[in-house]
Chains A and B, each alone.
Chain A
Amino acid sequence: MLILTCPCCGVTGEETEFHAGGEAHIKRFGPGTSDEDFHGYMFAKENAKGVHFERWRHNNGCGKWFHAARCTTTLEVFGTYSAQTYEPPKDIKDKISAKRPGWSWREFA
Chain B
Amino acid sequence: MSTRLATGGRLLNKDRAYNFTFNGKRLTGYPGDTLASALLANDQMLIGRSFKYHRPRGVVASGAEEPNGIVGMGEGAAFEPNQRVTTTELFEGLTCASQNHWPSLEFDVGAINTKLSRFLPAGFYYKTFISPRPFWKHVYEPIIRKSAGLGKAPKERDQDKYEHFYAFADVVVIGGGVAGLQAARAAGKAGAKVLLMEQTAHWGGRAPVDGGTINEGKEKVNQTPVDKFVDEIVAELEAMPNVTLRTRMMGAGVYDHGYVLGYERVNDHQPGAAGPRHRLWRVRAGHIVTATGAIERPLSFAGNDIPGVLLASAVRDYAVNYGVSIGDRTVVVTNNDDAYLTAITLKKLGLDVPVILDARVLPEDSALMAEAKALGIRVMMGHAVASVKGGKRVTGVEICSQAGEGAVLETVDCDAVAMSGGWSPVVHLWSHCGGKLTWNSDFAMFQPDVDNPPKGVDGEGFVTAAGSANGELDLNGVLADADAAGKAAAKATGHTPGKAKTPTAETAEQAPMAPVWLMPQGAGIKKRMKAWLDYQNDVKVSDVQLAAREGFESVEHAKRYTTLGMATDQGKLSNINGLAILSDALNQPIPQTGTTTFRPPYTPISLAAIAGEARDERFQPIRKTPIHGWHEENGAFFEPVGQWRRPYCYQKPGETVHGAVKREINQTRDKLGLLDASTLGKIIVKGPDAGKFLDMLYTNMMSTLKPGKCRYGLMCNENGFLSDDGVVARIDDETFLCHTTTGGAETIHGHMEEWLQTEWWDWKVYTANVTEQFAQIAVVGPQARKTLEKLTDADISGEALPFMSWADITLGDGIPARAYRISFSGELSYEIAVPASRGRELWDLLLAVGAEDGITPYGTEGLHVMRAEKGFIMIGDETDGTVIPQDLNMQWAISKKKEDFLGKRAQERSHMADPNRWKLVGLETVDGSVLPDGAYCVAEGSNANGQRNVQGRVTSTYYSPTLDKGIAMGLVLHGPDRMGEVIDIPKVDGSIVKAKIVDPIFYDKDGEKQNV
Contacts and interface: CB of A to CB of B under 8 A. Distances in A.
Q: Do chains A and B touch in the complex (CB under 8 A)?
A: yes
A38 B758 contact: no
A75 B906 contact: no
A42 interface: yes
A83 interface: yes
B259 A1 contact: yes
Contacts of B255: 1
A38 B718 CA distance: 10
B719 interface: yes
B761 interface: yes
Interface in B894-953: 899-900, 904-906, 908-909
A45 B265 CA distance: 46
Contacts of B392: none
A53 interface: no
Contacts of B761: 83-84
A83 B905 contact: no
Interface string B449-473: 0000001111100000000000000
A30 B459 contact: no
Contacts of B899: 31
The binding surface of chain A is classed by DSSP as loop
Contact of B900 (A3, A30, A35, A71): A30
A55 B758 contact: yes
A14 B259 contact: yes
B459 A83 contact: no
Interface stretch (B673-681, B749-757, B849-857): B749-757
Given A31-B900, A31-B905, A65 B455 contact: no
B257 interface: yes
Given A2-B256, A57-B754, A75-B256, A99 B459 contact: yes
B759 interface: yes
Contacts of B750: 57, 59
B905 A3 contact: no
A34 to B, nearest CB: 10
B455 A74 contact: yes
A42 B906 contact: yes
B864 interface: no
Nearest to B754: A65
Looking at chain B, what size class is its interface with the partner chain? Answer: 20 to 34
Most chain B beta-carbon neighbours within 10 Å: one of A59, A64, A65:
A65
Contacts of A63: 753
A42 B906 CA distance: 9
B840 interface: no
Interface in A15-39: 21, 28-33, 35, 38
Interface in B188-238: none
Contacts of A33: 905
Contacts of A3: 257-258, 284, 457
A28 B900 CA distance: 12
Nearest to A84: B761
A72 B455 CA distance: 12
Contact of A35 (B457, B458, B459, B909): B909
A83 B258 CA distance: 27
Interface string B739-770: 00000000000100110011101000000000
Contacts of A59: 750
Interface string A39-75: 0001000000000000101010001110000010011
Given A1-B255, A63-B753, A65-B757, A75 B905 contact: no
Nearest to B258: A3
A83 B256 contact: no
A76 interface: yes
Contact of A64 (B459, B757, B900): B757
Contacts of A65: 753-754, 757-758
A92 interface: no
B492 to A, nearest CB: 15
B457 A31 contact: no
Contact of A31 (B257, B284, B458, B904): B904
The binding surface of chain B is classed by DSSP as mixed
Contacts of B759: 28
Contacts of A83: 757-758, 761
A36 B77 CA distance: 62
A75 B433 CA distance: 11
Nearest to B907: A31
B908 A2 contact: no
A76 B758 contact: no
Contact of A76 (B284, B455, B754, B757): B455
Nearest to B433: A75
A74 B459 contact: yes
Nearest to B904: A31
A71 B257 CA distance: 13
Contacts of A32: 905
Nearest to A64: B757
A84 B36 CA distance: 63
Contacts of B259: 1, 14
A14 B285 CA distance: 12
A32 B898 CA distance: 13
A29 B905 CA distance: 8
Contacts of B456: 76
B757 A2 contact: no
Nearest to B757: A65
B747 to A, nearest CB: 11
Contacts of B904: 30-31
A1 B718 contact: no
Contact of B284 (A14, A57, A64, A77): A14
Nearest to A78: B459
B753 A1 contact: no
B905 A30 contact: yes
Contacts of B459: 71, 74, 76, 99
Contacts of A1: 255-257, 259
Given A14-B284, A59-B750, A84 B455 contact: no
Contact of B458 (A2, A30, A76): A76
A77 B539 CA distance: 44
Contacts of A35: 909
Contacts of A14: 259, 284
Contacts of A30: 900, 904-905
Contacts of A28: 759
A63 B758 CA distance: 12
A31 B908 contact: yes
A47 to B, nearest CB: 19
A63 B258 CA distance: 25
Interface string B755-790: 001110100000000000000000000000000000
Nearest to B456: A76
B905 A21 contact: no
A99 B258 CA distance: 20
A76 B900 contact: no
A75 B457 contact: yes
Contacts of B753: 63, 65
Nearest to B434: A74
A31 B909 CA distance: 10
B107 to A, nearest CB: 50
A21 B751 CA distance: 12
Q: Which 10 A-B pairs have the closest CB atoms?
A: A76-B459, A84-B761, A65-B757, A3-B257, A31-B905, A30-B900, A1-B259, A31-B904, A30-B905, A83-B758
17 contacts: A1-B257, A1-B259, A3-B258, A14-B284, A31-B900, A32-B905, A33-B905, A38-B905, A57-B750, A57-B754, A63-B753, A75-B257, A76-B455, A76-B457, A84-B757, A84-B761, A99-B459
Given A2-B257, A38-B906, A65-B758, 8 more contacts: A1-B255, A2-B457, A30-B905, A33-B905, A38-B905, A42-B719, A42-B906, A65-B754
Interface of B: 255-259, 284, 455-459, 718-719, 750, 753-754, 757-759, 761, 899-900, 904-906, 908-909
